[in-house]
Amino acid sequence: MTLALVGGTHRTVPLDLRERLAFSAEQAAAALMRFRDRFPGREGVLLSTCNRVEFYAAGETGSEPPPAEQLVAFLAECRGIEAVQLGPVLARERDEGVARHLFSVASGLDSMVLGEPQILAQVKQAWALAQDSRTAGPLTGGMFQAALRTAKRVATETALGRERVSIPSVAVADFASAVFERFDDKHVLLLGAGKMAAETLRYLREAGARDVTVVNRTAGRAVELAARLGGRPGRFDELVAELAAADLVVSTTGATEPVITLDAFRQVELRRHGRPLVVLDLAVPRDFDPRIGERPGVWLYSVDDLAAACDANRKSRQREMPAAWAIIEEETSRFMGDLHHRSTAPVIEQLRAGWSETGEAELDRLFRRLPDLDDAQRAEIRQAFDRYAAKLLHPPLASLRSESRAGPPHGLLDALKRLFDLKE
């Protein structure tokens, strides 16, 4: 065995246990150093996100990675959890299954939100941490580089990640951006202190929004949220003025009736002088009277509008799954072929060394019998010997590479060892 994996995700590990199993960056670094001391000569990478904890281990022949149960016990020990609790909920993979799983994770196919791009950055961070902790090596290095290559292919050759599937991302990318080309010069009003509003604002920040006001019935919560989001608190009793100044409103109050009625909005309208207004009403029940969306210059979207777009995008992503999996299978076969061919290196070196040694002996014998040869003639003869040896070695080496694509070429390796009397 060369590659091993134990790990769990949001699908297999209950949230309360997943919270206990999660590693901070500092805890992950400490765990990798413990792994390096506990299992010298083995490679290890620890991937820990809010939705998954996975440990990838690797080792050459003679230094194989620890058995799965040892890796489970190791993770349990690092987080102070009983191994009997973790054992039933952690998946195990070996060799080809490890590579296929990592490639699907990096490509976003194993995420809670299909195709989400954040996981790729987390995979890169896990690999960088392993390098810093000196638990990385040629096997994990080749596998993680292949995972990044696979993720890039899935992103560029399919439309899997081009459709947003979360309400906040759709609100910004598909709706607000359809009205405004830029957000760095827009005034954003956050009405209410809901989590979805804060998440939507995060996407707006990434899109360039800088000027943010937070208004809430409870002034203290507005002050707290404004400080956390880098905005300024506004006053609820000045809501008409705040709406008049806003370019975009994200609203998520818990009110049971509309906060902004049509009559109230007419007061706002008089002070806006025809400036366009985008309202992302994410509240249920709605904060804005739906008739406001019929007013000139107003783009009013409810959570149902956004949810419908999410569903359509999700179906679009599902259609891309076969193409994405085809890429993952192709890259898995390619990586495993390279990995199997790696195991043939000692035999290849022995073959080349044997031919080189024999060739040098014959050349020395020839040059002693032909002492009148000049340096140019000797060099020409030596090159002819090298070309001849390379051509004779090409068929067995090509066969080794071809066999490696289908799996470890143990039978061919054994035959070559016997045929050329190669020793271990």
Residues with active-site annotation = 50
Output the furthest CA–CA distance in the chain (Å, rounded): 112
Which DSSP symbol is given to 288? B
| Residue 136: both structure tokens together | 């990385």
Backbone angles phi, psi at 230, to 5 degrees: 75, 30
| Alpha helices by DSSP H, 137-277 | 138-157, 167-170, 177-179, 195-206, 219-229, 239-245, 262-272
Task: Report angle CA 298, 304, 308 to the nearest 5 degrees.
Answer: 105
Phi-psi category of 144—alpha, beta or left, where left has phi over 0 and alpha has psi -120 to 50?
A: alpha
Chain-centroid distance, C-alpha 308:
27
Two structure tokens written together for 104: 């699907």
Q: Could you tell me which of 71, 72, 59 has the C-alpha nearest to residue 143?
A: 59
Give the whole-angstrom CA distance, residue 179 versus residue 186. Answer: 12
Beta-bridge mates of residue 5? 56, 93
Helix (H, G, I), strand (E, B) or coil at 34: helix
Name the helix (H) or strand (E) containing 280.
Answer: strand 277-281
- Percentages (nearest 5) of helix, strand, coil residues in the chain: 60, 10, 30
- Per DSSP bridges, beta strands 187-191 and 211-215 are parallel
What is the Cα–Cα distance from 49 to 13, expressed in whole angstroms?
13
